[in-house]
Structures are given as structure tokens and as C-alpha cells.
Amino acid sequence: MLTRRQFSAGAAAVAAGAVLARASVRPSYARELGAPAKIGAGKLVAVRLVTAERPTALPCFGNHSLPMWSFTDGAWPPVIRLDLGDRLEATIENRLPRPDESTSIHWHGIRLPNDQDGVPYLVQAPVRPGESFRYSFAPPDTGTYFFHTHCNTVEQLGRGLEGILIIDGDTTEPYDADEVLFMRDWQVDRETGEFNPFFTLRGAGRAGTFGPVRSVNGAVNPEIRLPASGDCRLRLINADPTRIMQIGVEDADAAIVAIDGIAVPPFPLSRWSMGPAMRIDLVLRAPQPGRIARLVDHSTPDRVELAHFVGSGVARRNSSFDPAPLRAGRIAEPDLKAATRLNFVFQASEAGQLVATPDDGLGAPLGALCLSSRTFWTINSRAWPDRDHARLPPPLAVLDRGRSYVFALKNDSEFSHPIHIHGHSFKLLGSDKQNRPPHHTDTVLLLPHETAEVAFVADNPGDWMFHCHIIEHQETGMMSYLRVG
């Protein structure tokens, strides 16, 4: 095993095979991925997103209406749907109710031009109340994505400023249904009908502050009707600011066909950990007419039923389950032999270690220390804790455009961290804790003390955020950016 010192030394070479189990292919189904989708001529899709406070009574709020912040007057969450090749022109108008509540939209996972990436100060001016900004880009990949604001994120996400972005064109044959499951908790007290605090020091120094109300598409354990015995595509999005879910399906066959938007050769779903911002596409063989299957989260001691599926109509298919694969992605293959290796270590700061000590240590030191400094987390010993990103540090690393990189991502802490890169998609090479098939991902879940290796081609110039997607960790230091020159 490598010692911590070796890892921290930037130049230390990590022998991949020695430490990490290579990502390997599991027994899977018969069919191979389709040819990559062709980028069409495309049309222009214009949308208007008005960030504002809208009292909303989502079904999961009980009988209460809460002052949600959202993008549209219509149903929550909003959905933007494009065909590959289309250009999205999204105009955001900021009508949030506080004079200093700036905003911006980040299109999570989309490999877009840097100035459309929606990070205030880093790539654009924050959109202040009364102002507007027009995003314009043509996503280069198909799949399941989402968007969210990137200012005061713990509160803006907490109050609902997020939506779904789907880019079509990746199927090889039609599925019998295509449903999005937008999974998140709410910091809501169902007795009083009020929001709880979105940020707590205790949560920020640990696994984050969990919302007590679990939901899928704004409802608690909704019933989702699917064509009986059909092969149904389910797009699962972990849209929660905090919770890492461990997803399973009961009483139905299900296969993972895409991860973070990009196709993988279908493999059976047993349990799959999804940190905040991570997505998977499933194909699920829907239950027989009138029968039920369940989507469950095993991350807590009592498994939680997130949604259930009812087979409706006459049975569609009686063949054995062999889900149709999607079309292969269009992401450049990194050159592993020529790649430059860089090490990144994710750790608690000294204050962070103090906050994370057992309860009886939580009294006096916290009050004295943490209110002056909200730096609980670091990347390579550096922290960038800033509620609105206004003070830019230098980049954590400068990458050569077009060069291949292997990143060793080492979690040297007691908590999990879903590590997200903007503007690129990593290829997972291996891990010393989890055995997963090779796949692309824009958000890598690192378990406590896990080291994972990822590779990618730094082919998108600009300044790209590189941060933990547990938003309370991000906002207390586990945030940085990489410059692709």
C-alpha cells in the first residue's frame, strides 16, 4: 500500500495494477452497444427560466405550500428535452426575492463551451436580481442530465432550483416506456410546513444534513404505471444536495444501460450507489398486469421504498429479459500510455476533523472555531470555501489541452465524496474498494478511504470546477478548479 506521504507528493507514481482492482466487465446480456448517434442538423430550442419564489404544494409536502424557488410556473421539476444536434437557448431571468441573491445555471455533465458552464466569477458574471443571461450551446452527447444553479447552492438547490435535461437520439430500438425519476429529499418539517435550515455545521463536517422528506418527482413513494411486461427505460437522477443512495429494484429484472448519461453495455442491477448529481439509466422489465415492483434505497438500516411500479394493460413481452443497449458515447478515448498522472487527496481540514469527532466533542470548540472559519474540507490541502465563488484562488492544476490524464483520486477521510468535474467526462479505470464495470462518469463516488483512478482527455479549454457534490462539503472547502490551457 502507498503511504499518505507518497500520495501527497505530486510526483509520486502510482502503480495502478498494484493497488487498484481494474474496473472489469461483469456477466451481462447478449447484445452490444449500438454505433454512436449521428449529430443531426438540429433545431433551435428556446426556453425561458425565471428564477423566483413560488409558493408550491408538492405532494410530498403533506398539505403545506412552501416558498419554493423554481424556474417556471409549470410542474416541478421542469424538463428540457432536445435531440442530439439541437441548440438550446435558455434565458434565465433572476427574480429571486432578495436584493443580493445572485444566480446562474450550471448544465451538469454537459461538455459545453466554458463560457456557457454557469459558474459565477469563474466563467460569467453572477446574474443579479433583475438581470438576465442567455445560455446557448449544442450538447455533444445524448443521455440523462440535469441542471441547477451554482450560487448559494445549498439554499438554492434546497429550495428547488433544479431541472431535468434529456438529450435524445441514443436508442437502438424503442423501449416500451421512458420515465424520469428525479430523486431527492426535502429539508421540510411536515408538521409546521416550513423549511428546516439547509446548512448545519455538524452536517457540513460529516455526511451532510439529510432532509427528512424523501421524494421521487415531488411525491413520497409514487405509483408509476408502466406497460405490463414491457422493457421500460427509467432515468434515475439523484438530485439531492446531500444523500448518497444505494439503489436496488425488488420484484423485477433491471439492468443498468447508462451511467451519467453515457451508455454502458447492459449489466444487471443489484445495488448501485448514487451520490448527489449521479444518474443511471435502467431498463426494467415491468411487472405483469396488476403486479408491483419497487425501487428501493438501501443506504439506511431500514430500506426505503422510493417508488413503486404497477404493470398496466395487457402483457407486452414474454421473451426472457435481454435489454436493448443504447448507442455508444462519443467521448475521446484517453491514451493511457502517454497520460500524465496527477494525484488528488480529499481530506478533512483541522476544523473539519474537530467537527467530525463524536458528539461529546461538539460543544465549546465548535462555537469558538467554526463560526469564524467554515473550512472543513480540502483538496490537496487547499480549501476554497466561498458561498458565491467571488474570490478566485489560482487553479488547482493546469492541464495541457488535448493531453490525456490519469487522476488518482484518494479519499483520505471518514466520509464519502462524490467528486464532480465540469466540462469533461472521466473514464473509471479502477478502485481499491468498489468493483464496477468500466464506464464514463462526470461524478465519481469515493467511499471513505477509497482510491479510484480515472482517465480523460483534457480536450475542452477553459476553467472547470472540480468539487465534491455534497453541497455542504463543497461550500466548506472541497471545491477547486482545473485550467485546461
Contact residues for ligand C2O (CB under 6 A)?
106, 108, 148, 150, 277, 420, 422, 465, 467, 469
Minimum CB separation of residue 353 from Cu ion in Å reads 14
| 445 φ, ψ (degrees, to nearest 5) | -85, 120
For residue 204, give the H/E element and its range. Answer: helix 201-204
Query: d(Cα 48, Cα 123) in Å, to the nearest integer?
Result: 21
**Of ligand C2O, Cu ion, none, which one sits near residue 285, judging by CB under 5 to 8 A according to partner kind?**
none
**Of ligand C2O, Cu ion, none, which one sits near residue 473, judging by CB under 5 to 8 A according to partner kind?**
Cu ion
Q: Which is nearer to ligand C2O, 155 or 176 (CB)?
A: 155
Query: d(Cα 5, Cα 111) in Å, to the nearest integer?
Result: 34
DSSP state of 17: H
Residues that bind Cu ion (CB under 5 A): 417, 468, 470, 473
Minimum CB separation of residue 393 from Cu ion in Å reads 18
Minimum CB separation of residue 117 from ligand C2O in Å reads 9
**Of ligand C2O, Cu ion, none, which one sits near residue 470, judging by CB under 5 to 8 A according to partner kind?**
Cu ion
Q: What three-state secondary structure class fits 269?
A: coil
Give me the residues paired with residue 267 across strands. Answer: 256
Largest CA distance in the chain: 65
DSSP state of 478: -
Give me the residues paired with residue 194 across strands. Answer: 189
**Of ligand C2O, Cu ion, none, which one sits near residue 467, judging by CB under 5 to 8 A according to partner kind?**
ligand C2O
Q: Which is nearer to Cu ion, 139 or 352 (CB)?
A: 352
Minimum CB separation of residue 64 from ligand C2O in Å reads 28
Minimum CB separation of residue 158 from ligand C2O in Å reads 14
Q: Which is nearer to ligand C2O, 106 or 206 (CB)?
A: 106
Residue written as grid cell 455508444: 328
Q: Which is nearer to Cu ion, 206 or 473 (CB)?
A: 473
Q: Which is nearer to ligand C2O, 106 or 473 (CB)?
A: 106
Minimum CB separation of residue 468 from Cu ion in Å reads 3
Q: Which runs of consecutive H residues, i.e. helices, occur in 69-184?
A: 153-158
**Of ligand C2O, Cu ion, none, which one sits near residue 159, judging by CB under 5 to 8 A according to partner kind?**
none
Minimum CB separation of residue 162 from Cu ion in Å reads 18
Tell me if 105 sits within 8 A of 422, measured CB to CB.
no
* Backbone φ/ψ region at 54: left (φ over 0), alpha (ψ -120 to 50), beta: beta
Q: Which runs of consecutive H residues, i.e. helices, occur in 43-193?
A: 153-158
Minimum CB separation of residue 106 from ligand C2O in Å reads 5
Q: What three-state secondary structure class fits 197?
A: coil
**Of ligand C2O, Cu ion, none, which one sits near residue 465, judging by CB under 5 to 8 A according to partner kind?**
ligand C2O
**Of Cu ion, ligand C2O, none, which one sits near residue 151, judging by CB under 5 to 8 A according to partner kind?**
none
**Of ligand C2O, Cu ion, none, which one sits near residue 154, judging by CB under 5 to 8 A according to partner kind?**
none
Q: Which is nearer to Cu ion, 86 or 475 (CB)?
A: 475
Can you spell out the DSSP letters for 340-363?
EEEEEEEEE-HHHHHHTS-GGG-S
Minimum CB separation of residue 55 from ligand C2O in Å reads 26
Q: 15: which residues sit within 8 A by CB, 6+ positions away?
A: none
The three grid cell numbers given for residue 255, joined into one nine-digit string = 439492468
Q: Which is nearer to Cu ion, 102 or 443 (CB)?
A: 443
Can you spell out the DSSP letters for 308-341?
EEEEESS----S---PPPBB---PPPP-TTTPEE
Minimum CB separation of residue 421 from ligand C2O in Å reads 9
Q: Which is nearer to ligand C2O, 105 or 370 (CB)?
A: 105
Q: Which is nearer to ligand C2O, 123 or 355 (CB)?
A: 123
Residue written as grid cell 434505497: 297
Instruction: Look at residues 83, 153, 144, 85 and name the one whose alpha carbon lies nearest to residue 118.
Output: 153
Tell me if 429 sits within 8 A of 408, measured CB to CB.
no
**Of Cu ion, ligand C2O, none, which one sits near residue 424, judging by CB under 5 to 8 A according to partner kind?**
none
Parallel, antiparallel or unpaired: strands 426-431 and 440-441: antiparallel
**Of Cu ion, ligand C2O, none, which one sits near residue 106, judging by CB under 5 to 8 A according to partner kind?**
ligand C2O
Q: Which is nearer to Cu ion, 131 or 412 (CB)?
A: 412
